[in-house]
């Protein structure tokens, strides 16, 4: 038998390594402490806890801190050991964790929002803490003075946030299903563009500063990859989850996207293959195959003495078709349709068996995941959820351990060969230089 040669890394099944129990309510955030066998968790039960792995292999709490209000979001910066916790009452609190992870000191409170904090990002270079909240706004505050620097309001709850550290661009997802791209300045901001594509509230975002890809997950169970760097407005749809997509992580080295849904589904998408954009749905007053009128087309129904039909759309060609002309279902992974969707009869005939080969692997996390984070360098994943459980999993995603890979101060694995010359940002008028060799730099010393 010929040896099988894998041109791309194969992903194996995630393996449960540890289960952390003890929270009395939903766990809203869990983060792995880099280079330590430790996890920081924040929960609706108003506690923030640091868990360290003991010799027994079990995680035990080394810090247990009670807050005034349920914890709704968290950010941790390992080099400075700063923890930022967002709460249901709208406040963001900053703490400093001791070297041995046995003590946590309160630093200051930021009056960030009027309502539940949904996401937090800390930039050491700018000395900013940026947050979004259910008061429909993004705010950024100075971590030296504690002062509010700027605020921008949206039309609905701001639910998630990503940030480009070098250029101060922020991506904010909201409950209307829209993503807004803003350029933050010291005391002002400008809206660069809005990205519309989801049919439900945005639950999570992931920005990859090297390949300049934005991924969004939403309550319409789908993921969209926005190719910001490609400058052509290219978007890829990824449909494989059966519930709200809650968390995303893109692995640069292996070009895999990991996504988690609230039903516990974990998907690993191969983004190293050529994929096709899903078509726009076409509008027509009659079936674009058999020309029978749709039910609102009274005139043609009267002229031809026929009964109007319901309109459907073929997912592959986007044509408006009647039920009879689109009776078959097929998966079409190259367009992101990992499960069977409606296709017209001619598209069905054009899909070959090999076109149905899945381009993602699906796993069962076996709990209600609300948040996931990964330590790419160690191949670890931590998930937490409404079932109050935190799971540490061997991610099953192969990670590159070659000499050219390392972990940059921002916690992202980077490959030196991938850091090339600056490329202008496609949207708007501002140049958007590429993140240069972050692995060799301290965050404060960024060039340009």
Q: Interface with Zn ion by CB under 5 A: which residues? A: 287, 289-290, 314, 316-317, 322, 325, 344, 347
Give least dist CB 236 to Zn ion, A.
Answer: 19
Give 313 or 391: the residue with its C-beta nearer to Zn ion: 313
Query: What is the C-alpha separation between 150 and 155, in angstroms, rounded?
Result: 17
Q: Which residues does residue 32 pair with via DSSP β-bridges, in sequence order?
A: 39
Beta-carbon-side half-sphere exposure of residue 283 (alpha carbons within 13 Å): 2
- Other CB atoms within a 10 A radius of the CB of residue 147 amount to 9
Q: CA–CA separation, 446 vs 448, rounded Å?
A: 7
- The distance of closest approach from Cβ of residue 277 to Zn ion in the complex, given in angstroms and rounded to an integer, is 15
Nearest CA to 128 among 189, 185, 90? Answer: 185
Q: DSSP secondary-structure letter at 396?
A: -
Q: Are 415 and 404 in contact (CB under 8 A)?
A: yes
Residue among 179, 177, 180, 201 at smallest CA distance from 189: 180
For Zn ion, the closer of residues 237 and 314 by Cβ is 314
Beta carbon nearer to Zn ion, 108 or 324: 324
Token pair listed for 330: 């097929």
For the bound state, the minimum distance from the C-beta of residue 338 to Zn ion, rounded and expressed in Å, comes to 18
Question: Smallest distance from the beta carbon of 325 to Zn ion, in angstroms?
Answer: 3
Of residues 259 and 311, the one with the C-beta less far from Zn ion: 311
In 254-359, DSSP assigns E strands to: 256-261, 265-270, 312-313, 320-321, 328-332, 337-343
Closest CB 271 distance from Zn ion, rounded Å: 25
Counting every residue, how long is the chain? 448
| 3-class secondary-structure state, position 79 | coil
Least distance to Zn ion, CB of residue 287, Å: 3
Backbone angles phi, psi at 353, to 5 degrees: -55, -40
Decide: helix, strand or coil at residue 349: helix
Beta carbons within 10 angstroms of residue 243's beta carbon: 15
Smaller CB separation from Zn ion, 282 or 430: 282
- Choose between 10 and 306: whose C-beta lies nearer to Zn ion: 306
CB of 355 to Zn ion, least distance (A): 13
Tokens matching residue 26: 């939903």
Smaller CB separation from Zn ion, 149 or 344 = 344
Q: Cβ neighbours of residue 3 under 8 Å, at least 6 residues apart?
A: none
Question: CB 350 → Zn ion: shortest distance, Å?
Answer: 8
When the beta carbons of 23 and 316 are compared against Zn ion, the nearer one is 316
- Min dist CB 318 to Zn ion, Å, is 7
């Amino acid at each position: 038998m010929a040896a099988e040669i894998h041109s791309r890394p194969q992903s194996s099944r995630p393996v449960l390594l540890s289960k952390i129990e003890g929270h009395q309510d939903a766990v809203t955030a869990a983060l792995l402490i880099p280079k330590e066998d430790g996890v920081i968790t924040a929960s609706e039960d108003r506690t923030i806890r640091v868990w360290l792995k003991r010799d027994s292999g079990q995680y035990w709490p080394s810090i247990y801190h009670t807050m005034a209000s349920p914890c709704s979001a968290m950010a941790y910066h390992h080099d400075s050991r700063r923890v930022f916790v967002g709460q249901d009452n709208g406040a963001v609190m900053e703490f400093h964790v001791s070297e041995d992870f046995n003590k946590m000191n309160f630093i200051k409170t930021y009056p960030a929002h009027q309502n539940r904090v949904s996401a937090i990002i800390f930039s050491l270079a700018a000395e900013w803490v940026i947050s979004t909240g259910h008061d429909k706004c993004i705010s950024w505050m100075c971590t030296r003075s504690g002062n509010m620097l700027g605020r921008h309001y949206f039309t609905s709850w701001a639910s998630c946030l990503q940030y480009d550290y070098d250029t101060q661009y922020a991506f904010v997802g909201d409950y209307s299903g829209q993503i807004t791209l803003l350029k933050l300045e010291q005391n002002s901001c400008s809206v660069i563009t809005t990205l519309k594509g989801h049919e439900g509230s945005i639950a999570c975002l992931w920005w990859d500063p090297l390949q300049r890809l934005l991924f969004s997950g939403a309550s319409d169970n789908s993921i969209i990859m926005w190719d910001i760097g490609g400058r052509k407005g290219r978007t890829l749809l990824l449909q494989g989850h059966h519930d709200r997509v809650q968390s995303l992580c893109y692995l640069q080295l292996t070009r895999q996207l990991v996504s988690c849904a609230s039903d516990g589904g974990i998907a690993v998408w191969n983004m190293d293959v050529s994929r096709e954009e899903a078509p726009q749905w076409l509008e027509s007053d009659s079936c674009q195959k058999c020309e029978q009128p749709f039910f609102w087309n009274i005139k043609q129904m009267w002229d031809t003495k026929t009964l109007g039909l319901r309109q459907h759309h073929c997912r592959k060609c986007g044509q408006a078709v009647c039920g009879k002309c689109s009776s078959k279902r097929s998966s079409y992974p190259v367009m992101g349709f990992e499960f069977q969707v409606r296709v017209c009869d001619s598209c069905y005939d054009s899909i070959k068996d090999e076109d149905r080969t899945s381009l993602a692997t699906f796993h069962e996390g076996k709990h209600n995941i609300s948040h996931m984070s990964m330590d790419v360098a160690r191949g670890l994943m931590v998930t937490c959820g409404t079932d109050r459980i935190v799971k540490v999993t061997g991610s099953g995603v192969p990670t590159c351990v070659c000499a050219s890979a390392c972990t940059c101060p921002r916690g992202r694995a980077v490959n030196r060969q991938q850091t090339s010359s600056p490329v202008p940002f496609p949207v708007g008028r501002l140049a958007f230089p590429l993140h240069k060799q972050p692995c060799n730099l301290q965050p404060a010393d960024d060039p340009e």
